[in-house]
Amino acid sequence: MSVENLKAYIESGVLELYVLGDLSPEETLQVEEMASQNSEVKDEIVAIEQAMEQYAMQNAIEPSADVETRLFEKLGIIGEDEITNVTPQPVYSEEPRIVRLDSSNGNIRTLRFALVACVALLVISTAALFITYNKLNDAHDQIASLNLDKQKFAGVVSQLEYQNSGLDNMVAMADSKEWATIRMAGQAISPKSKMNVYWNKKDKSVLINYVAMDLPKADEAHEYQLWALVNGKPVSLGMFGKSDSTAKEAIVKMQTIQEAQAFAVTLEPMGGSVNPTMEKLTVMGGV
Amino acid sequence: MTALKKLTLTEPELVLALQSKDPAVLKTLYSMYSSALYGVISRIIVHTELAEDVLQETFVKIWQSASYYDNTKGRLFTWMMNIARNLSIDKLRSKDFKNSLKNQDIENNVSFVDEQNKVTFNPDVLGVKQLVENLKPDLQAVLDLVYYKGYTHVEAAEKLNLPLGTVKTRIRLAIIELRRSFN
């Protein structure tokens, strides 16, 4: 652009309008382009700006103090210091604070998660404990009933063993030629009673078998006494318990007798008697 | 850093601090320019409370749009002053303002008339040394309209019933007059 044209451009007043912000965007761009290409235009703009600035300074009016207060409250800027050399320190002192807040937030978050996890574990544990406790109770009940069953069963088994051993013995004695079986029949006080006595012909030993007897139940104060009749005289062969005795062995060995014509059982007071009480003669049988 | 200890900063320092969003610089900026900007605003908006609201809005906008300021396109104060003027004019033309403050319009007109009436006084006779009054009345009238009343030069031409070119010339002459007096 020629010097004349440049002068005319400057004098057209467009630069003043530019500084006053009174141009369209297109015109503004044109001025800016002119200013970047021509230092005269640029200088003129600066001079206009400085004039307007000084003009404004000359016509300055002090606003009330609370405008400043409200402004900095609104922007969230605190602190009275308006000198910028304070600037770097807040920047540095704020940053670690932010980091600390972050980390403490993180810690709180972690702790919160941990707390939730703990509560959840507690609930699960309690539930599991409750279920286990119930199952344990059930198991206790089962064990108790099984124990009862076992005891009953053991009772039955021992009863069977007891009877079995007695029966085995009876069979063995019946087969053997050594043993004589004396069958004693019920007498006046107990006609239905019966009992066997086994007498060894060789060593003269006498056995009775609880399985092979059917005597009335003796009371607490009495027990049975086995007698052998030797030449018309009763000889005691020993005492034995009630017919349903809980003795462990079904077979009981009595006293040996060399010879006898008959065997008899009487009910005697505990400990036995020297002579049989004939009124209490329960069973008797001859050899 | 020692340079920053001054209460006032050079323009490049201000711009740098402002664009790095340093809160302390806004305080400095406020102490340096709030009264100049308030002078501009309160000439456009006479109502004190509203003018102070606009001043606050102006600094909020300066703070928020600092990154848009381009120092190759003009001085910082020009940029801030145009923000203040635009916000003031927006406020003046807003429906709210016109509806709620009808009295304000009258007040404005009164003050406008006052400004106009100054033409009849001879500043020299009154002994007023202020620059504004040193301006020739016809120059001052145009400058007041476009600078303080928020008129575009087109509106000012209509208002003063002058050709567009004359208004532009008078604005330029007024500013040249100012420049001369400052120098």
Q: Are residues B16 and B93 in the same domain?
A: yes
Distance CA B145, CA B116 (A): 10
Tens digits of per-residue pLDDT, A233-272? Answer: 899 998 887 645 455 667 788 888 888 899 999 988 888 8
Task: State the ipTM, two decimals.
Answer: 0.74
- Interface residue of B1, B133, B173, B182 to substitute, partner A, most A CBs within 10 Å: B182
Q: Are residues B79 and B113 in the same domain?
A: no
Q: Are residues B22 and B94 in the same domain?
A: yes
Q: Which of A48, A54, A84 sits opposite B24 (nearest CB)?
A: A84
Quick one: DSSP state of residue A239?
A: E
Q: Is residue B36 part of a domain?
A: yes
Is residue A91 scored above 80 in pLDDT? no
Q: Are residues B79 and B126 in the same domain?
A: no
For residue A205, count CB atoms less than 10 angstroms from its CB and return exposed for 0-12, middle for 13-18, buried for 19 or more. middle
- Interface residue of A34, A44, A55, A66 to substitute, partner B, most B CBs within 10 Å: A55
What is the pLDDT at residue B121?
36
Distances (CA, A) of A238 to A195, A272, B34, B163: 15, 8, 137, 163
pTM over 0.80: no
Is residue B129 scored above 50 in pLDDT? no
Determine contact: B135 vs chain A, CB below 8 A. Answer: no
- Which residues of chain A from 27 to 46 reach within 8 Å of chain B, CB to CB? 32, 36, 45-46
Is residue A93 scored above 90 in pLDDT? no
Number of A/B CB contacts below 8 angstroms equals 157
Is residue B118 scored above 60 in pLDDT? no
Please indicate whether, in this complex, the C-beta atoms of A17 and B171 are within 8 angstroms of each other: yes
Q: Are residues B156 and B114 in the same domain?
A: yes
Q: Are residues B96 and B116 in the same domain?
A: no
SS3 category, A21: coil
Tens digits of per-residue pLDDT, A5-62? Answer: 888 888 888 898 898 888 888 999 999 998 989 888 999 999 999 888 888 888 888 8
Q: Are residues B88 and B108 in the same domain?
A: no
Please indicate whether, in this complex, the C-beta atoms of A16 and B60 are within 8 angstroms of each other: no
Count: domains in chain B: 2
Q: Is residue B2 part of a domain?
A: no
SS3 category, A286: strand
Residue B137 near residue B123, CB atoms below 8 Å:
no
Q: Is residue B121 part of a domain?
A: yes
Distance CA A65, CA A88 (A): 27
Provide the shortest C-alpha distance from residue B143 to chain A (in Å). 10
Residue B5 near residue A85, CB atoms below 8 Å:
yes
Distance CA B35, CA B148 (A): 15
The residue out of B74, B100, B126 marking a domain boundary is: B100
Distance CA A40, CA A42 (A): 5
Neighbours of A250 (CB within 10 A): 22
- Which residues of chain B from 79 to 118 reach within 8 Å of chain A, CB to CB? 81-82, 85-86
List the CATH number of the domain containing B118. 1.10.10.10
Q: Are residues B131 and B118 in the same domain?
A: yes
Is residue A84 scored above 50 in pLDDT? no
Could you tell me the end-to-end alpha-carbon distance of chain A, in angstroms, rounded to an integer? 168
The residue out of B70, B100, B130 marking a domain boundary is: B100
Q: Are residues B134 and B144 in the same domain?
A: yes
Q: What is the mean pLDDT of residues B25-52?
A: 87
Name the pLDDT band for B130 (thresholds 50, 70, 90): low
Quote the tokens at residue A111.
């702790």
Domain limits at B48? 7-100
Q: Is residue B50 part of a domain?
A: yes
Q: What are phi and psi of A199, to 5 degrees?
A: -125, 120
Q: Are residues B38 and B68 in the same domain?
A: yes
Residue A68 near residue B31, CB atoms below 8 Å:
no
Determine contact: B46 vs chain A, CB below 8 A. Answer: no
Q: What is the mean pLDDT of residues B92-115?
A: 58
* Identity at B118, one-letter amino acid code: K
Distance CA B75, CA A226 (A): 144
Distance CA B45, CA B90 (A): 11
Q: Are residues B83 and B12 in the same domain?
A: yes
Q: Are residues B12 and B83 in the same domain?
A: yes
Mean pLDDT value across chain A: 82
Q: Is residue B1 part of a domain?
A: no
The residue out of B51, B76, B100 marking a domain boundary is: B100
What is the pLDDT at residue B4?
41
